[in-house]
Amino acid sequence: MSTATDQRTFDSVNPATGALVGTHPLHDAAAVDAAVRGAGEAARWWAGLGFEGRRRRLFDFKAVLTRDLRRVARKIHEETGKPEGDAVLETALAVVQLDWAARNARKVLGPRRVGTGLVGMNLAATLEYLPLGVVGVIGPWNYPVFTPMGSIAYALAAGNAVVFKPSELTPGTGVLLAELFARSVPEHPVLQVVTGLGETGAALAAHPGVGKISFTGSTATAKRVMAACAANLTPMVAECGGKDALIVDADADLPAAADAALWGAMSNAGQTCVGVERVYVVETVHDAFLDELTRRAKAVRGGEHYGPMTLPAQTEVVRGHVEDALARGGEAAVGGAASVRPPFVDPVVLTGVPEESSAVQEETFGPTVTVNKVASLEEALERANAVAYGLGGTVFSGNTRRAMEIARRMLSGMTAVNGILSFVAVPALPFGGVGGSGFGRVHGADGLREFARPKAIARQRFPLPGMTLSSFERTPADLDRLVKLITFLHGRRKG
């Protein structure tokens, strides 16, 4: 969207080359206000289309996006520097999420009868999930299509209009998404993009016309967004970073575990909220695993197998974590501080890193990983759970029962077993964290409900004779009958 107040602009550049990719308006609070107001009207029209009408439009959007997949991937590549192949994968996974949301919205959110129980036997009870109106989505730059789509597709399928504020590093990708959407839904601005820096996002979070904010980014910024939301009691989803652990059991398939650790830690230059940042290996297989990982990591290079650091300032965070780990007695099995050669960072594998190091406790968001030896699976789990974050995680084990038990006890929203990031490929699975990784869920049925409000209706079908309870005409005999019924139903010790 564009208004007369759009005097100022900002540029997006390719972080690998510094080349200008695009120039976009710095939307101020007035522009955000205009977008949210327009979205409010569009939301009423969109909600009025009903599940079937929206499903048809979203399927159309899905087809448009799929046919333009390469173009979208190219824009992601230009703005983030990631290889086009990775951008294609990201966009394809976003299409899968869009499909699931559109296909399942009625089933998950549509009106349904629920049981009333004996006490309410004269009632008919209906539950449905209604749209919130306007949803504000504040997106990150690391997966500029897949990540916001987890909110956008689900919010739209639930009947909301969306105002999307992409990261200042990837505005062109956001603008392109909205352009493609408008081809399928040209009548009203159901999906709008406002571009700008942090202030634009702050104006969106503080707008009283927004029914919910879905934020993805750092924990620190999530707290600021939450404070802005508090002014209007606007609820939010906070999808923040992680410090995900991969646990390797004594009987795990070591080549598969090393391959998974390498991809999980280094792909997208480690700029993945559910990337692997720590590995805990049971001591009997520690050296064999480390050898396997080291051999593979030495064949991988920044700028060749994955792109640059998209956020330039992050490079210094990575360098700081590596230097801290080495200064505290950790060892570098692959690379070291010299692997940081902006804008690229080559793989760094650190081992024997003290648990209090920043490389173990804080989100690095770079192509580095720590590999630490543990005496048992229990110790691995204890250490995995001993950080402030809890987003994803991975377990490799030859024993399915043991792997499932560890997966359940991992303090995280998602866990992959004997695979890497596999939960991302299953749109029915909810995605989100605990603790410092945030709260709320995108994807799956929970992701649809996240952008809707439950509406409960109880309709009386006939008066219950002899059970006048919520009336000033209630008699002691009515109460006696209620106590008898409740005692009959619930008075025994066994359920």
Using CB under 6 A as the binding rule, whether residue 216 contacts ligand NDP is answered as yes
Please say which residue, 168 or 324, places its beta carbon nearer to ligand NDP: 168
From 79, 90, 168, 239, the catalytic residue: 239
Interface mask toward ligand NDP for 415-434; x: CB under 6 A: --------------------
User: Pick from 78, 79, 86, 239: which binds ligand NDP (CB under 6 A)?
Assistant: 239
Residue 429: C-alpha distances to residues 95, 157, 272, 424 (Å):
15, 17, 18, 8
Please say which residue, 159 or 217, places its beta carbon nearer to ligand NDP: 217
Interface mask toward ligand NDP for 21-60; x: CB under 6 A: ----------------------------------------
Map the footprint of ligand NDP across residues 306-325, applying CB under 6 A: 311, 314
Map the footprint of ligand NDP across residues 170-209, applying CB under 6 A: 197-198, 201-202, 205
User: Pick from 217, 413, 432, 444: which binds ligand NDP (CB under 6 A)?
Assistant: 217
- Please work out the total of residues on this chain that contact ligand NDP, with binding judged by CB under 6 A: 28
Span of 35-43, 48-56, 183-191, 216-224 interacting with ligand NDP by CB under 6 A: 216-224
Please say which residue, 49 or 89, places its beta carbon nearer to ligand NDP: 89
- Minimum CB separation of residue 316 from ligand NDP in Å reads 11
From 79, 90, 168, 273, the catalytic residue: 273
Does 229 participate in catalysis according to the annotation? Answer: no
Does 239 participate in catalysis according to the annotation? Answer: yes
How many whole angstroms separate alpha carbon 192 and alpha carbon 177?
A: 9
- Minimum CB separation of residue 210 from ligand NDP in Å reads 12
Binding site for ligand NDP (CB under 6 A): 138-142, 165, 167-169, 197-198, 201-202, 205, 216-218, 221, 224-225, 239-241, 273, 311, 314, 363, 365
The residues assigned a catalytic role are 239, 273
